[in-house]
Amino acid sequence: MSAPRKATREAYGETLVELVQDGFDVVAVDADLAGSTTTAKLGKVYPERLFNVGIAEQNMIGLASGLSLTGKTAFTGSFAVFGTGRAYDQIRNTVCYAKLNVVVAPSHAGITVGADGGSHQMLEDLALMRVLPNMRVLIPSDYLAAKAALRLAAETGGPFYVRLGRAPVGQIYEKTEELALGKAVVLRSGTDVSIIACGAEVEQALLAADTLAQSGISAEVIDVFSLKPLDEETIKASLAKTGRAVSCEEHSVIGGLGAALAELVAKNPGILKSPLKMVGVQDKFGTSGNIDELFARYGLDAKFIQDIVLELLA
């Protein structure tokens, strides 16, 4: 029996409890969304370690920064659109400038927020976070990867952005030992095209690769668990082998994974035989709908990835 589908946000509160039990001096600060972000699980077991500042995201980052200066590792909650957008100045000038042990780990990132619509579907957070000096960016593709990302942030220290989602996703990993800062994971080897994905799009990339294989097309699938720092060596090795690449992200095609790969390709001229193709949201806001409808509408599903690969090979 396959593992049940679970949202990456479900790993948040559970992992915080485990970190405290393992001896980490962890606290969480939330902006009146502890139920949705699941930091409430920490508050239930260790009420003195959860702080609710109300609907005040700037204060959330400020309090987390102060707590980090007392020797604690402070995690922050909220939805991605508020936890990064409203509090950007505090994340930039307090957390990153001073290299504080603050982990910005909001939930409800990307278009899979679903029915909440364009006002809540954060499609710009990766661009905002990866441009900040000292910020490391992790994008877990399933529940176990989310647990690994949160633990890695606590163990490493310093500013981190961990992107968590609302919608259940399929299990990608059985063991997470290979997930590390600055490392990408080759989930499926191939020779014709490199499908380089992150987050919820990893599952779609694997489904597309399965379908392409039925037509004799060998697709290599890479999970970019760590967007910043980027595992340039693994990606360059794949591109040198296949000569063709498609990036896949549940984010705007501007400033995220596709942009990071374009920067890498620009530094390595001639590594691709054809232009880099980017699967993502094409400079638009989201809209309300169920997940399948939204993935189809915005060209994020396995069928669209398959069609892009066929177009690229043709």
163 phi, psi to nearest 5 deg: -90, 115
Element (H, E) at 288: none
Q: Who contacts 246 (Cβ-Cβ below 8 Å, separation ≥6)?
A: 193, 194, 195, 196, 276, 277, 278, 279, 305, 308, 309, 312
Is 57 marked active-site? yes
Q: Rounded distance, CA 12 to CA 83, Å?
A: 15
> What does the alpha-carbon distance between residue 127 and residue 253 come to, in Å, rounded to a whole number?
9
3-class secondary-structure state, position 73: strand
Calculate ∠ Cα 181-183-185, nearest 5°: 135
Beta strands at 136-138 and 226-228: parallel, antiparallel or unpaired: antiparallel
Are 248 and 312 in contact by the 8 Å Cβ rule? The answer is: no
Phi, psi of 279 (to 5 degrees): -95, 120
How distant, in Å, are the alpha carbons of 144, 193, 208 from that of 221? 19, 9, 10
Q: How far, in Å, CA of 293 to CA of 66, rounded?
A: 43
8 A C-beta contact, residue 247 and residue 231: no
Integer angstrom CA distances of residue 74 from 29, 200, 263, 279, 286 = 7, 26, 32, 34, 31
Choose, from 57, 201, 203, 220, the residue flagged as catalytic.
57
Catalytic residues: 57
